[in-house]
Amino acid sequence: MPRHALFIHGTWLTPAIWEPFQRRFSACGYCCTAPPWPVAKGGRQPGISALLAHYETLVRSLEQPPLLIGHDLGGLLVQLLLDRGLGQAGIAIDPLPPRAGLLGLYSTWPWLLPWVGWRDLLYMTPQYFARNMAQTLTPAEQSAAYARHIVPAPGRVFVEAALGIGSTVDFTNGERAPLLLLAAGSSHIVRANVVAVLYRRHRGSSAITSFKQFPGYSHWLIAEPGWERIADYSIEWVQNQVGRF
């Protein structure tokens, strides 16, 4: 039976962001899926608890524990799922930390100020995307990436991530599966030093925890030129942890 890799996208993005990674992992024998976030119900946008429940249901529906791979908020969800005993291993790429606080999310603070908007969909401008999320791309690449991948995000998740609502992790949990934390050296959204601190907190567990920083990459590292380095390192790491086919 082929191993399953489940990809979890982050804020502002759709599952299509994972298409290159899925092709890479599929070539190594993985059965890959990248499910979308759940839709709003009754006008209520999903929060972190709803996202976690959604992916937990998907993971439990699989015949065997999958490899979990997440970016941004998806990386936070990977940590939460592993902490709940789910997944064969987890890879969190430029992940939001549990209870990020305003410092951990300082680049998104403009969306936290208008508290009345926390129930609404929020929109990222092309200028913000070019300056903070994908500053390593050329202007032409930025325009193409924004047009293809950027969508509105539920304001609720930013507030909950900052305050730690629905994102408690037991950093001493020695029963969780192996975890790899990847940091983008030039990320303006989740600074590399934030991921390094997160790594040290996870090291409080006896479970396997690994860390790797990629200098020169932005928060867009899973789709910017050179994304293959990120994918190949991830594949090599997980094969060293759970074995090759």
Q: How far apart are alpha carbons 78 and 179 in whole angstroms?
A: 9
CB neighbours (10 Å) of residue 42?
Answer: 4
pLDDT of 244 reads 60
pLDDT of 118 reads 67
**Nearest alpha-carbon partner for 25 in 205, 187, 222:** 222
pLDDT of 121 reads 86
Q: What percent of the chain has pLDDT over 70?
A: 90
Flag whether pLDDT at 109 surpasses 70: no
Q: What six digits make up the tokens of 160?
A: 């909950």
Q: What six digits make up the tokens of 173?
A: 């949990």
Q: What is the pLDDT of residues 133-169, one digit of tens each?
A: 999 999 999 999 999 999 999 988 988 888 888 999 9
Q: What is the pLDDT of residues 25-47, one digit of tens each?
A: 999 999 999 999 998 776 678 89
Q: What is the pLDDT of residues 211-224, one digit of tens each?
A: 999 999 999 999 99
Q: How far apart are alpha carbons 33 and 19 in whole angstroms?
A: 10
